[in-house]
A and B are shown apart, each in its own frame.
Chain A
């Protein structure tokens, strides 16, 4: 393990280093104690997953699987329980009951291993604005325990793919929003995770960049990375291999976009969503 080695390039990250070391020691413990392995082609397996906040059941016995290499759309109205479910899958929140395996690790018992093996990008926070482009790559790579050479090689490769070679030394804050989103996505898969969680990655992004972003998602999926994505753009749900729709804490529909449209005799995914969301009782 090479935690910390690469942080000397960046000032003021002592807290991160401390936290990383802490995670590191937990990781080795977990590795020794647990030998959970994947039994089939599913990268996510969830059974009766439930989260309660007091009397309120935010996520109510959801059961579903996500296949390796799949683009999985995770839809639902505001307040349906998407964020809570996603936090559990990312190892950020303990389930009240039920089981889940993500990338082969138990989301109730091996949260640090889950975190290490997934990528995550949210619309709100994804990059350090006051660091340069290469410094962001270096920081993320370091946090995920990559060594100096790996970080350098991968940074070169990704900047080339993005056509961002001239922006290597640019401050992130100086980049246009569309570029930032593309950069944030590259960072979320920088450590080659098996699965990446994208939480409304295209919110507020201009229509052309939004489409370029989906081409990046396809490219990642072609390389075998599973993509778990939420969006409020219904056209984007058509680009997913399968889509689930949450209503009042439950998953009320899960299938390919085409099958869902057939099932609800709907002309597009917007109509499918409308039909299901209208059955919601809670607000």
Chain B
């Protein structure tokens, strides 16, 4: 974990800064409570590999973004997230999946740094491996994070 943070800080400090995202750019983000790496396929569409970690819970997934007005200081976005979930509770232990539809926005308070917030309904299904008991249902999720963009854009 410490090594990961160190690598992130090195990248944050040493790489050149760019003003706005566009096709071919890469972004790294620190979200609550995890990390992600994002790549822009077009000016409006990007995908992010992300992981979130909490005590005895791991969420690993892929996010797809669509930006309505890229290049503006406050850029509205929407997307879909699919995750694999592993967990260990007080009584249960197992795995599951989560799917979230979200809407939100990114606010650039520096040339290559933005604050992102999105929210939406997430369907989560978990299964206990010992008893085969399972739960499934919708939770409303808010995500916040800080993004740092670098790389050669168009």
Q: Tell me whether A and B are bound partners.
A: no
Residues of B within 8 A of A (CB): none
